[in-house]
Structure 1
Amino acid sequence: MSGDRQPENDRDSGAPHIDVTSLDLGGDVVFITDDQGRIVDVNDAFVRVTGYSKREAIGAKPNLLSSGYQDERFYKDLWDTITSGQVWEGQLVDRRRDGALRTHHATISPVQDHTGRITHYVAVERDVTTELGRHGAVGSTGMLHTDLTGRCVYADGRAASLLGRSNSDLLGPGFLRSLVAADADALREVIQMAAELGREHRLDVRSEKGAWLHVEVAPLSVASGSVIGAVCGLEDVADQVSVHRELARRDAFVSSVLDALDDPVAVVDGDGTVAVVNRAWLSASSASKGDLLLSLRVGDDLRTAVRRAIDSGDADAKVFGGELHRVLTGMSGERQTGSRFQITPLRTDDGGAVLRLRADA
């Protein structure tokens, strides 16, 4: 093995001989450990990328590169996988000798002797920090990369700015911790859902610093087809949320005004769909079981209800339907009073009308 000869007793016991120089894979970092996790050889890319010399690395354990952004549970899952003879594949954030962070995609494979005993582990790491940075360069949209649990392994500068944190603060559990707890839980579920279903999902979240963000979550797969995490695009939607809040405030105001009226009142839009009814309308509906018009609720189609009432023999409904048609089609901009409902046209671009059940009806 390059840089460190295999002990003769390993050769005699049938342990495979691994030459790390044969695994110098186009700039990918490669290192080999024994079955106890001690590094026994590294390739030249390891030295160049991590900053540690072969002398410093051999004999040490891979936690030499630990950044602190992976927790004990993460490493337990990793070791449980490879010690059971399976290949582990995923994303890691490590720290170079000079303190700089690097994000890489890693594949760790167990090596077995002729008896099936694991003798070594081979780790191949491909740096993805630069590639992820290129993907994140999309103007006002911030970009993060997480594993399947929502643990952040990469965050670009825009994402850090939107969340009011530094890039390093967002790594590991920092991203989800930067969100309001309920929204962090919801996003974690969306990340897992995106991975399971293989398609994008969207939701709005609020940061601990009060920012409203729209998040688009897409599954991230590697060449083998395995889904290893998610790419999260962040966009500031504070202005949209502000508009929605203002509209909600206005809706609440209109509802309060209508509820203050003693007469039953309903508002329909230009398409004839019921938009609002007041409490008096609901009370009148309860007192007049079987009335096809008073039984209307928000979202119901008024025109359909009128046709049914006419078909049932309601003569007043025929008059009402004609007046409603003239108002909603713009044929008349005057108040209509020929039926039991007073119809007042709405002076809006989209049209519509206010219906009031007359007291003498």
Structure 2
Amino acid sequence: MSIILTVGLSIVIFVVDLMIPLGVAGGVPHIVPILLSYKLQDKKAIPLFAILGSVFTIIAFFLSPPGGEIWKVVTNRFLALFAIWVVAIACIIIKKEKEKLHILSDAINQSPNPVSITDKDGTIEYVNPAFLQKTGYSKEELLGNNPRILKSGKHSAEFYRELWETIKSGNTWEGNIFNRRKNGTLYWESLQISPLKNIQGEVTHFFSLRLLDKQMELANKDLIKLSHTLDQVPQAVLMTDQKGFIVYANPAFKEITGYSLNEVIGMNPNVLKSEAQTSEFYEKLWRTISTGKSWKGELFNKKKNGELYKERAVISPVYNDDNKISHYIALREDITEESQKTDKLKKLSLIVDGSPISILITDSSGNIEYVNRRLLETSGYSLNEVLGNNPRMFKSGETPVSHYKSLWSRITAGHAWRGVFRNKRKNGELYWESVLITPFADEEGEITNFVALKEDISEKKQLESTLIAHERLIHSVIKNLKEGLIIANRYGNIQMFNKGAEEIFGYKAGEVLEKPVAVLMDESLKEKHNAGFARFQKRHKILPQNALMEVVGKKKDGTHVPLELGLTQMEQRGEVLVIG
């Protein structure tokens, strides 16, 4: 009936147009039937009336009474045709969009997935029947309320703050979340919240879609199967969703951190942050894994009790069937003790490398595996020249082969060896070294390495030779003095008796060494001598020193000999000696 009336209206407009002179735009009213056809159910009605109006407009151009200038008449007719088709196309587009909205509305209402729409402030404006069924609330209880009515208390304030900041900035948030039904029971669901924008690009609403229970059930079953395996892993295992919120942690995680799964589920791993790493460190980590790459590294984290610990972690993305990242899994190992040992070894290495003593380490076959900086400086060789070589490269050729065989037999038997070598530098210069070689064995007692501590004693050797020569010269001078020279220790026992003393007293040196000096004195002087020596032992000083006195000595044959005696003292290697 409606279409007949609309056709009749088109005919009436055509008849009127035939009676109007050509100078009047009589074709424009054909827009009205097109607008009326928008309400008709038939999809072809709009283009049909657009064609009918166009045909009537063209026929009227030829049959209407003349009037007006020809160029104006033609222009009016073209404008009428243009207006007819602009309106027709606009109506077709609007009708199609309306049909799409109607289909979308029906789809959302009939969808088995819970759907809700809120305004930009988070106030609920729409929920579909599946949402009501899922939560147990009525439409009246939800509309005008806030989605926080579903909060379970399992997530931190930071979790919700990050969610809100994400969608407020115009981005979609996806993740898993624990919610609470009206009857108090908890349920786990996968949620996607997307912002809806107007033509100006401003966020006006938020659209949230929940996964079907069956889909979540399948995901949970896969997670349960995986968790049975991961529960047995000795390293801590942590799994998060694609947004970084924790969905699983194994028992080893609790042993290391002190947090149980119930305490961390739904939270972000930054609950472990120690502030030992910079924000740039975490940004780089997240950038790496979110682009599909694995991250490996070491970092300091904080346990539940506040204690810091160091861990080695490997974090890898997990992909779903659509080849998109759905989760991240982290394998974490507490290396606090290992790190402390490593730090000690580094310190020890620095000490060894900076040692003033040359240090050389070989394997069990004698091949050089390590030398410190001092050895390179002493020998003149570079590191590349000595590594993998044998210490025989330092041989001067002056040490007998039998000496080296004896050394090798001793250290391979597990004993340390100490001795002196004359070795050769790279430039051919000879030098003396004092060497201590110690074998090192593994837990089974097998020798794995030899460590040699070597000290360049060339200067000491030179000084020693000089001192020996000087000592021999002094000893020769003292021994051949015509004056008698006697040296006694602080107990009064003779330590030296030169030739002059032998001639005066008639004793040979061997007869009086280590005997009390009193054997050379007359009885009348012994008491005075003993008193003076007692004072010396108490004060450790001879008073007066270098003073000459006349005394009477007693020869070996018992006869007396008048003497002029001078006393002084000296210290040698920490021992006080009396010289007469």
Deviation of 1:215 (Å): 3.2
Deviation of 1:229 (Å): 5.1
Map of 1:150-229 to 2, 5 A cutoff?
151-156=244-249, 158=251, 159-160=253-254, 162-167=256-261, 169-171=263-265, 175-182=269-276, 186=281, 189-203=284-298, 205-208=300-303, 209=305, 210=307, 213-227=311-325
Structure 2 equivalent of residue 3 of structure 1: none
Higher Cα Rg: structure 1 or 2?
A: 2
What is the rounded CA distance, in whole Å, between the counterparts of 1:301 and 1:109 in structure 2? 67
- Secondary structure at the aligned position of 2:101 is classed as coil
What is the rounded CA distance, in whole Å, between the counterparts of 1:339 and 1:48 in structure 2? 95
Residues 1:41 and 2:135 are matched in the alignment: no
Equivalent residue for 1:72, pick from 119, 144, 161: 161
Deviation of 1:182 (Å): 1.7
Residues 1:31 and 2:115 are matched in the alignment: yes
Equivalent residue for 1:56, pick from 121, 141, 154: 141
Output the TM-score relative to the length of structure 1.
0.62
What is the rounded CA distance, in whole Å, between the counterparts of 2:200 and 2:283 in structure 1? 42
Residues 1:360 and 2:458 are matched in the alignment: yes
What is the rounded CA distance, in whole Å, between the counterparts of 2:239 and 2:278 in structure 1? 15
Kindly indicate whether the alpha-carbon contact (under 8 Å) linking 1:70 and 1:92 is maintained by their aligned counterparts in 2: no
Kindly indicate whether the alpha-carbon contact (under 8 Å) linking 1:144 and 1:152 is maintained by their aligned counterparts in 2: no
Instruction: Give the RMSD, CA atoms, in angstroms.
Output: 5.0
What is the rounded CA distance, in whole Å, between the counterparts of 1:56 and 1:116 in structure 2? 31
- Secondary structure at the aligned position of 2:449 is classed as coil
Deviation of 1:196 (Å): 2.3
Map of 1:291-310 to 2, 5 A cutoff?
291-292=380-381, 295-296=382-383, 302-304=386-388
Kindly indicate whether the alpha-carbon contact (under 8 Å) linking 1:156 and 1:167 is maintained by their aligned counterparts in 2: yes
- Secondary structure at the aligned position of 2:368 is classed as coil
Deviations 1:192-251 (A, max 9, x none): 32222422535354323335544331113344433355222344x3xx643553575577
Structure 2 equivalent of residue 4 of structure 1: none
What is the rounded CA distance, in whole Å, between the counterparts of 2:250 and 2:148 in structure 1? 27
Output the TM-score relative to the length of structure 2.
0.42
Deviation of 1:33 (Å): 1.4
What is the rounded CA distance, in whole Å, between the counterparts of 2:455 and 2:396 in structure 1? 12
Kindly indicate whether the alpha-carbon contact (under 8 Å) linking 1:205 and 1:215 is maintained by their aligned counterparts in 2: no
Q: Which has the higher helix share?
A: 2
What is the rounded CA distance, in whole Å, between the counterparts of 2:458 and 2:260 in structure 1? 68
Equivalent residue for 2:368, pick from 246, 266, 272: 272
Kindly indicate whether the alpha-carbon contact (under 8 Å) linking 1:214 and 1:234 is maintained by their aligned counterparts in 2: yes
Identity %: 13
What is the rounded CA distance, in whole Å, between the counterparts of 1:157 and 1:101 in structure 2? 22
Relative to structure 1, is the Cα distance of residues 332 and 91 closer, same or farther in structure 2, using a 3 angstrom cutoff?
Answer: same
Deviation of 1:16 (Å): 0.9
Relative to structure 1, is the Cα distance of residues 96 and 156 closer, same or farther in structure 2, using a 3 angstrom cutoff?
Answer: farther
Deviations 1:33-71 (A, max 9, x none): 166563523353x45654545553345443433454524
- Secondary structure at the aligned position of 2:289 is classed as helix
- Secondary structure at the aligned position of 1:203 is classed as strand
Structure 2 equivalent of residue 85 of structure 1: none
Relative to structure 1, is the Cα distance of residues 11 and 57 closer, same or farther in structure 2, using a 3 angstrom cutoff?
Answer: farther
Relative to structure 1, is the Cα distance of residues 103 and 358 closer, same or farther in structure 2, using a 3 angstrom cutoff?
Answer: farther
What is the rounded CA distance, in whole Å, between the counterparts of 1:103 and 1:228 in structure 2? 16
Deviation of 1:31 (Å): 0.6
- Secondary structure at the aligned position of 1:265 is classed as strand
Moved more, 182-191 or 347-356: 182-191
- Secondary structure at the aligned position of 1:353 is classed as strand
What is the rounded CA distance, in whole Å, between the counterparts of 2:286 and 2:186 in structure 1? 24
What is the rounded CA distance, in whole Å, between the counterparts of 2:361 and 2:274 in structure 1? 37
Relative to structure 1, is the Cα distance of residues 231 and 351 closer, same or farther in structure 2, using a 3 angstrom cutoff?
Answer: same
Residues 1:233 and 2:353 are matched in the alignment: no
- Secondary structure at the aligned position of 1:180 is classed as coil
Residues 1:107 and 2:175 are matched in the alignment: no
Kindly indicate whether the alpha-carbon contact (under 8 Å) linking 1:146 and 1:153 is maintained by their aligned counterparts in 2: yes
- Secondary structure at the aligned position of 2:159 is classed as coil
Between Structure 1 and Structure 2, how many residues are aligned? Answer: 316
What is the rounded CA distance, in whole Å, between the counterparts of 2:312 and 2:129 in structure 1? 43
Where structure 1 has 5 or more consecutive residues not aligned to the other structure, the ranges are: 1-9, 83-87
Relative to structure 1, is the Cα distance of residues 338 and 89 closer, same or farther in structure 2, using a 3 angstrom cutoff?
Answer: same
Kindly indicate whether the alpha-carbon contact (under 8 Å) linking 2:311 and 2:336 is maintained by their aligned counterparts in 1: no
Letter of the 1:42 counterpart:
N
Kindly indicate whether the alpha-carbon contact (under 8 Å) linking 1:90 and 1:228 is maintained by their aligned counterparts in 2: no
Residues 1:96 and 2:96 are matched in the alignment: no
Kindly indicate whether the alpha-carbon contact (under 8 Å) linking 1:129 and 1:154 is maintained by their aligned counterparts in 2: no
Letter of the 1:207 counterpart:
K
Structure 1 equivalent of residue 170 of structure 2: 81
What is the rounded CA distance, in whole Å, between the counterparts of 2:96 and 2:136 in structure 1? 35
Deviations 1:72-127 (A, max 9, x none): 34323224335xxxxx3521424213666655433345779999998873513364
What is the rounded CA distance, in whole Å, between the counterparts of 1:355 and 1:33 in structure 2? 79
What is the rounded CA distance, in whole Å, between the counterparts of 1:273 and 1:193 in structure 2? 38
Letter of the 2:329 counterpart:
V
Equivalent residue for 1:144, pick from 235, 238, 248: 238
What is the rounded CA distance, in whole Å, between the counterparts of 1:77 and 1:116 in structure 2? 16
Deviations 1:166-210 (A, max 9, x none): 545435666323342225855664343222242253535432333
Where structure 2 has 5 or more consecutive residues not aligned to the other structure, the ranges are: 1-93, 424-432, 443-447, 460-580
What is the rounded CA distance, in whole Å, between the counterparts of 1:180 and 1:172 in structure 2? 20
Relative to structure 1, is the Cα distance of residues 47 and 203 closer, same or farther in structure 2, using a 3 angstrom cutoff?
Answer: farther
Kindly indicate whether the alpha-carbon contact (under 8 Å) linking 2:177 and 2:191 is maintained by their aligned counterparts in 1: no
What is the rounded CA distance, in whole Å, between the counterparts of 2:199 and 2:285 in structure 1? 44
Structure 1 equivalent of residue 490 of structure 2: none
Relative to structure 1, is the Cα distance of residues 43 and 130 closer, same or farther in structure 2, using a 3 angstrom cutoff?
Answer: farther
What is the rounded CA distance, in whole Å, between the counterparts of 1:148 and 1:189 in structure 2? 16
- Secondary structure at the aligned position of 1:81 is classed as coil
Residues 1:347 and 2:443 are matched in the alignment: no
Letter of the 2:368 counterpart:
G
Kindly indicate whether the alpha-carbon contact (under 8 Å) linking 1:269 and 1:353 is maintained by their aligned counterparts in 2: no
Kindly indicate whether the alpha-carbon contact (under 8 Å) linking 2:114 and 2:209 is maintained by their aligned counterparts in 1: yes
What is the rounded CA distance, in whole Å, between the counterparts of 2:355 and 2:332 in structure 1? 45
Deviation of 1:291 (Å): 0.8
